[in-house]
Amino acid sequence: MAGPMSSPPPLVLGIETSCDDTACAVLDGEGRVLASVVSSQLAHRAYGGVVPEIASREHLRNWTPVAREALAGAGAGFGDLDLIAATRGPGLVGALLVGLSIGKSLAYGLRRPFHAVHHLEGHLVSPFLDPDGGPAAPPPERFVGLVVSGGHSTIFAVHGSEVATVAETRDDAMGEAFDKVGKRLGLPFPQGPRVDELAERGDPAASPFPVPDCGASLDFSYSGLKSQALQAIERLERAGMRWAPEQGEEPPQPALDLLAGFRAAAVGQALDRLERLHAREPIPLLAVSGGAAANRLLRRELVRWAAERSVELRLVPLVYSGDNAAMIAHAALLRHRRGLADDPLAAEAESRIAI
């Protein structure tokens, strides 16, 4: 295992606690992930979604074992760290405060530079991480980032240190729509990956949904699609469909078809926005990230779309698609290389912040 002795400096500690994952990672100066530990909170399962107060308490409980495991995995002690980074937002304020306060204290106590990282900046640079422990690829001067998660569906245009928002969702995020449709069917939390899995077995043509148009804007909208899927479930139930997934029952074919149609429209919307952006100004490189970037259809379609248009594509490695701290440490490393740093005493957690 690579340890701090054999790794180029600076050794970066990343901390991420913006929602329901307690995460800690150590990267070396070339962006190699020496350790990345993510503890997903199971305590929310009983509620079918994330409960903010529970998230904060679980972060406090999980932090010590998660940090110990990350440091042990990297063969490092706190004293070996050169840079400290923590997510400052957006997210649940009580949850953010846990990781941010720990990061600020560590930076202050160890007298190391500190980075208060925007969560989406972490996702944006996550496709450049190597899942096999090699150095991170250097992000190019210009690229387009698509971030699709439980909280965001956003397209960014990156030019050096400038990040402009090209499009975002007007209502629900892509992952959120998957979660709500899955929840309505009684699937366990988190529903997105399960909807994706079931959709693989359905026929999208048997239950088609339209891709919404936001006029000339490239913005996303997922609440209309979500409502249409919920209404379609209602109709199937009125027609006699019964399915209790929590009791291990096999899904009926109409439910699988419905999920396949829903997924195809959700993915179709992302492709539609990219297509129109590419027509306006060719995309040099597309970096796709966020929890919903694990979606199998989205990954397949993006590979096809990018190859047909000779767009260079970087799909986030599956291990770094969901929330993790390696992406936060990576964003901090890139900021450090630009000569940036934050005052650990001044950094504040914020639930909603522009990038």
Closest CA to 266 of 219, 221, 312: 221
Binding mask of the shown chain, residues 249 to 288, with x at each position contacting ligand KG4 by CB under 6 A:
----------------------------------------
Work out whether 342 is an interface residue with Zn ion (CB under 5 A). Answer: no
Angle between helices 191-199 and 174-184 (to 10 degrees): 80
Comparison of 83 and 293: residue with beta carbon closer to ligand KG4: 293
Comparison of 62 and 149: residue with beta carbon closer to Zn ion: 149
Comparison of 254 and 290: residue with beta carbon closer to Zn ion: 290
Work out whether 149 is an interface residue with Zn ion (CB under 5 A). Answer: yes
SS3 per residue for 27-52: ECCCCCEEEEEEEECHHHHHHCCCCH
Comparison of 106 and 302: residue with beta carbon closer to ligand KG4: 302
Three-state DSSP class for 182?
A: helix
Q: Please calculate the CA angle 139-165-212 and round it to the nearest 5 degrees.
A: 115
- Rounded to whole angstroms, the Cα distance separating 155 from 275 reads 12
What is the CB neighbour count within 10 angstroms for residue 87? 32
Work out whether 342 is an interface residue with ligand KG4 (CB under 6 A). Answer: no
Work out whether 21 is an interface residue with Zn ion (CB under 5 A). Answer: no
Q: Within positions 53 to 112, which residues make up the interface with Zn ion, using CB under 5 A?
A: none
Comparison of 191 and 207: residue with beta carbon closer to ligand KG4: 191
Work out whether 169 is an interface residue with Zn ion (CB under 5 A). Answer: no
Work out whether 17 is an interface residue with Zn ion (CB under 5 A). Answer: no
Beta strands 162-168 and 114-118 are unpaired
Work out whether 153 is an interface residue with Zn ion (CB under 5 A). Answer: no
193 binds, among ligand KG4, Zn ion, none (CB under 5 to 8 A by kind): ligand KG4
154 binds, among Zn ion, ligand KG4, none (CB under 5 to 8 A by kind): none
What is the CB neighbour count within 10 angstroms for residue 213? 10
Is residue 63 within 8 Å of residue 102, measured between CB atoms? Answer: yes
Work out whether 291 is an interface residue with ligand KG4 (CB under 6 A). Answer: yes
Residue 352 forms beta bridges with which residues?
none
Binding mask of the shown chain, residues 194 to 233, with x at each position contacting ligand KG4 by CB under 6 A:
--x-------------------------------------
Is residue 40 within 8 Å of residue 47, measured between CB atoms? Answer: no
Beta strands 312-315 and 285-289 are parallel
- Rounded to whole angstroms, the Cα distance separating 84 from 1 reads 22
Residues that bind ligand KG4 (CB under 6 A): 19, 149-151, 175-176, 178-179, 190-193, 196, 290-292, 294-295, 322-323
Residues that bind Zn ion (CB under 5 A): 149, 323
